[in-house]
Structure 1
Amino acid sequence: MRIVPSEISSRTRSVAERSVFAALKAIPDKESVALHSVHLPAHRYKRVGEVDFVVITPQLILFIEVKGGGVAFRDGRWQYGRGDGHMDTRAEGPFEQASSGMHELEREFQTAVDGLRGRSAVGGYLVITPNVDLPPMTTYEPEQYLGQTAYAGGKGLEAAIRRAGRYWPSKGRNKSAITPISAQLRGDILRAVRPEFDLVPNLQSRITDLEATFERLTTEQLERIDELEDNPRLIWTGGAGTGKTFLAAEAARRKSARGTVLLTCASRTLAAHLSSILSGEPVVVLPFDRLAEIRGRSFDHLIVDEAQDLMSFEHLGRLDELVRGGLDKGQWIFMLDQNNQVLSPEGYDPEAWKYLRELGAMTASLRRNCRNTKQIVKQVQRYTGADLGVAMAGQGEQVAFAKVTSREDEAVALDAHLRRLLDDGVAPRDITLVSASGNWEKTSARLSNRFSKIERYADTVGTGRSRNRITWSSVVDFKGLENQVVCLIDLDIEVLEGRLDAIYVAWTRARAHLWIATLPGVNRVLREIGAAGLEREGETG
């Protein structure tokens, strides 16, 4: 059965609703269509949001009310389980709730659908309790209810809808109703009601959805710390977006209860970001080029983020001096993105990596990408061949490419896209312009009408300022960081030639939406890179 929308929103927490959604989708019925009330912030009609599903069939319009968890009826009041051990108590029962929702929407149809002016289609309701069986009651007929046993994990839903299709047309109040409901009338009803059930969520709504998923996934990543906490020397490997920086900060916080902690990385901007996250914690956070400030000190725990940037014997020797017991006997965690070994091999010594692994370290791989949407992961993998892990954050918009002819044209295209983002409800702080050239003085952003309201990310990170401004960053400064929306600008052939890492780092910074402006010649180079990526897939597939 077709269902609108085709995928359930991650904001739908009810396991029972998710089960019914999947069961409806699995029904082999090409004539009927089901509408699911997607609970998005952009929804305009609260009463429509209170109807879980509406199924439009040739026989009737069926309104479905789903009650998950426990259900009880005591002293004339209904109690519903919330899934957290608590019960909500209401005077209105599920059958009264379904009936009132049905009548309200039927009235709406009669004013919105030409074919129903002064008439009605056959309507009915069905209450589903997937987890319990209600006892027989005078408040409902068997055809109006589907309990746990008959529901059978969703297998019994198709039969229940057919049963309702026979039952409701025979009810006295429906004797004069239109039946059967023609394909044209079903289409008219769908077009009338669909805006209330399937408002195209704006980008900010999708960001909210993805944010909820991200929080859940990063919480699951904490299991890594619990599983491996007893190992004194750890190496966590994973592609961009697998939560390495998140885990580095959390590990530093936990280790600080057991001794002194040094957290370091190559990037000053990332170090400032980590320092702000750990503000108030007894953790020393410094970029690698400032470690001379703590010369002579020795820490109980060493944590290194983006360690692939420091993978040389010279750098490891400096770190060896800062952890009690040295690297061979001390307690440390290295966070490493092995993709960069291939994409940007300069300064990376494979012998240093081999040495580190042989120091009795336990190595764990982070395989769940909880930052990037599936569309972004697919694009990065296609062009670079990099392994970003399994995309878990969900669906997003397609990566957008804007072909521009000059810096001036790029600024015009950027302004138009920024207008669209802001009109779509995206907050300025959720947008970062990532410059492939990294030249603040010559960036095309200077030609933007919004330039006066754009701030350099490196100037704001870690300062505690919370101005709602669009930010600008070089690719290098934004390594290890992220934002909801990334607009990649200043991308020319010189940046791309032989620099797969420029694509990898820049493209993986976006969590929800990625927009890329391509200057003359760039599309050709990207096509060549993409073709090479597809060829690699063929060789290894």
Structure 2
Amino acid sequence: MIFPEYYPKNTKDFSNESVFHARFKKEMGREAIVYYSVKFITPDVPMREIDFIVVTPKLILCIELKNGKWRYRDSTWKFYNRRSKNWEEQENKPYKGPVDQIRSGRKILGEFLNNHNSFEDPVPDAYFKSCIFFLKNDPSDFPVPDKEKEFFVGKSKLKNKNLTMREIIKDLEDPNLPPLSQEQMKNVNEIIQVNLNFVEDFDSRLNSQQKKLIALTHEQFELLSRRKKFSRTIVLGIPGSGKTIVALEQARRLELERIKTVFITGNTYLANRFSRFRDWRFVHFINENNFDTLTKKSEFLILDSTEEYLNQDFISKLDSILKGGMSAGKWLLFGDFYKSIDILKYKEALTQLKGIADREVVWKENIRTPRKVYEQACILGRKEVIPSLLPDITGIHYVTIESEEEIFQKLSWSIQYGLRELDLEQEEIVILSLNPDLTKKIIDYYDSTKNGQPLVIAYNGNHHINRSHSGNSSVRIADLHEFHGREARFVILIGISDFNDPAYFESYYDALTRTTSVCSIIFPEKLREQLVTLFKKKNN
């Protein structure tokens, strides 16, 4: 099996890649999976492309094709330039010659697999190998140690019609190694396929995921359809369970039914967006502080994000704006399940309302955060890992930095990954910071070095999005509390100083559950061991 199944049309074929694509497809057999033109596009490793990666039960092999003539003299690799008719060194490359190219490529593959496997090598290092297919040389042409020549495959062997590609690859396998398990091979292949745009492209995955995001679950549909049977309902849900989405859908239905309703939210961003509902006649949107705008009592009350404002004193205020008061009136309340346990005043207020509610519903399934991202959110937040129902677009990207200055390069990698590879719009990407000083530093940096890069901008005091000079919305950056109750397709989390500090557990959980598609976490390399220990503890 080979990915992609067909050689791409309109591709310039400088190294006979189409020939080898066809041979791998025909001659490798069922045990092997071959990937052609593997581009490392994720922000956790440097950009690099490998011609072919072959995964067999005894080998994970990186292959580079060399269609020109090469020579090795005075410790230097040179290729023959047919245009200038001279022997020349490769220029403007992050490697020196074909051997360094394939070795560094194999190293990047190892780092990539490790990063996307909870910082564990999915298979032992002994199974990884790299080789060069020289189409116009034989290994004997190069005065290098025989140990290096073991991984040179020359023109004589490649042109031998009696040898299949499976036989050529089998010669590179170590006969003393036991075969990899099916689980190990599946893991390696899944990491490559999910993160590197194989099988189903990112655009198709995003479209499929979007359909799930806008569809109501059975529990949500049941809650909305049985409003008349239950007059007073409390819904406590984990982040990403769809509370605000259902609250707004209930408001929309009440507007259509011409029922006078008040919608109260503690979500600052949503409160500032109420103007988009100004043409609604029967649903009145307010935040928790502007009751004075109400002149008549409502027939129905929707309370969203109640963890931000609800207490026993506030309940008495609600009695004054709802027909029948809270004990006999009609209302629907949404709140955070975890905070209903942790915040004493909120817990006491809910206990009072539970005594008069017709029913209580608990939503513990996340439906708005991708599975892998939500799993990591629970681990970093030290919460029970409950599988999310939303499929993954790609894996979570852990990106390390050696110094604070390196964050600008890694931010650029992440942003470009979102724009170019995922085809997201700038406004669909947000950088969430846990360090206000770092937030300011990044804003100042981008403000002074625009140079065609995506312009990172901040929220102003009202949490509105500023505009760049061109009038286009830009990649956003915000401290985590400023982004409460909001979502973005791609979240980049920065400003992490300690994964083991309990003061930040809730912040890690909140930040990762803000994404509906993709997440990158940029953190100091010195904290890697904290994650390794944490993931091992979880696996055990």
TM-score range, shorter chain: 0.5 to 0.7
Please show how residues 67-466 of structure 1 align to structure 2 within 5 Å.
199=198, 201=200, 203-217=202-216, 221-256=220-255, 257-273=257-273, 276=276, 280=280, 282-294=282-294, 297-342=296-341, 345-346=342-343, 348-386=345-383, 390-424=387-421, 425-437=423-435, 442-448=440-446, 449=449, 450=453, 452-456=455-459, 459-460=463-464
Fraction of identical pairs, as percent: 18
Q: Is the 8 A contact 2:298 2:321 kept in 1?
A: yes
1:476 is paired with a residue of what secondary structure? helix
How far is 1:367 from its partner?
Answer: 4.2
Rounded Cα–Cα distance in structure 1 between residues aligned with 2:403 and 2:307: 35
Corresponding letter in the other structure for 1:509: R
Rounded Cα–Cα distance in structure 1 between residues aligned with 2:334 and 2:497: 31
Rounded Cα–Cα distance in structure 1 between residues aligned with 2:215 and 2:499: 40
Partner residue of 2:492?
Answer: 487
Q: Is the 8 A contact 2:370 2:393 kept in 1?
A: yes
Rounded Cα–Cα distance in structure 2 between residues aligned with 1:468 and 1:201: 29
Rounded Cα–Cα distance in structure 2 between residues aligned with 1:452 and 1:518: 22
Q: Residues 415 and 202 (structure 1 numbering): CA distance in 2 closer, same or farther, change over 3 Å?
A: farther
Corresponding letter in the other structure for 1:395: D
2:483 is paired with a residue of what secondary structure? coil
List gaps (5 residues or longer) in structure 2. Answer: 6-28, 35-163, 171-192
Corresponding letter in the other structure for 2:406: D
Greater Cα shift, 332-341 or 511-520: 511-520
Corresponding letter in the other structure for 1:299: S
Q: Any idea what the Cα deviations from partners look like across 1:292-316, whole Å, max 9, x if unmatched?
A: 443x642221111112222321232
Q: Residues 366 and 382 (structure 1 numbering): CA distance in 2 closer, same or farther, change over 3 Å?
A: same
How far is 1:398 from its partner?
Answer: 2.1
Rounded Cα–Cα distance in structure 2 between residues aligned with 1:430 and 1:372: 15
Q: 2:506 aligns with which of 496, 501, 504?
A: 501
Rounded Cα–Cα distance in structure 2 between residues aligned with 1:462 and 1:227: 42
How far is 1:370 from its partner?
Answer: 2.0
Normalising by the residue count of structure 1, what TM-score does the alignment of the two structures yield? 0.56
Rounded Cα–Cα distance in structure 2 between residues aligned with 1:229 and 1:390: 32
Corresponding letter in the other structure for 2:332: I
How far is 1:365 from its partner?
Answer: 2.5
Q: Is the 8 A contact 1:369 1:388 kept in 2?
A: no
Partner residue of 2:519?
Answer: 514
1:410 is paired with a residue of what secondary structure? helix
Partner residue of 2:143?
Answer: none
1:481 is paired with a residue of what secondary structure? coil
How far is 1:269 from its partner?
Answer: 0.9
Rounded Cα–Cα distance in structure 1 between residues aligned with 2:254 and 2:529: 49
Q: Residues 524 and 33 (structure 1 numbering): CA distance in 2 closer, same or farther, change over 3 Å?
A: closer
Normalising by the residue count of structure 2, what TM-score does the alignment of the two structures yield? 0.56
Rounded Cα–Cα distance in structure 2 between residues aligned with 1:519 and 1:279: 49
Rounded Cα–Cα distance in structure 1 between residues aligned with 2:373 and 2:482: 20
Rounded Cα–Cα distance in structure 1 between residues aligned with 2:426 and 2:363: 31
Q: Residues 388 and 333 (structure 1 numbering): CA distance in 2 closer, same or farther, change over 3 Å?
A: farther
Rounded Cα–Cα distance in structure 2 between residues aligned with 1:5 and 1:305: 47
Rounded Cα–Cα distance in structure 1 between residues aligned with 2:416 and 2:528: 24
Q: Any idea what the Cα deviations from partners look like across 1:160-199, whole Å, max 9, x if unmatched?
A: xxxxxxxxxxxxxxxxxxxxx99679x9xxxxxxx9xx84
Rounded Cα–Cα distance in structure 1 between residues aligned with 2:522 and 2:367: 25
Rounded Cα–Cα distance in structure 2 between residues aligned with 1:486 and 1:417: 10
Q: Residues 421 and 412 (structure 1 numbering): CA distance in 2 closer, same or farther, change over 3 Å?
A: same
How far is 1:522 from its partner?
Answer: 5.7
Length, aligned pairs only: 358
Q: Is the 8 A contact 2:377 2:512 kept in 1?
A: yes
How far is 1:405 from its partner?
Answer: 4.5
Q: Residues 388 and 236 (structure 1 numbering): CA distance in 2 closer, same or farther, change over 3 Å?
A: farther
Rounded Cα–Cα distance in structure 1 between residues aligned with 2:471 and 2:328: 42
Partner residue of 2:185?
Answer: none
RMSD of aligned Cα (Å): 4.4
Q: Residues 183 and 416 (structure 1 numbering): CA distance in 2 closer, same or farther, change over 3 Å?
A: closer
Corresponding letter in the other structure for 1:489: I
Corresponding letter in the other structure for 2:224: I
2:470 pairs with 1:471: no
How far is 1:225 from its partner?
Answer: 0.4
How far is 1:357 from its partner?
Answer: 0.9
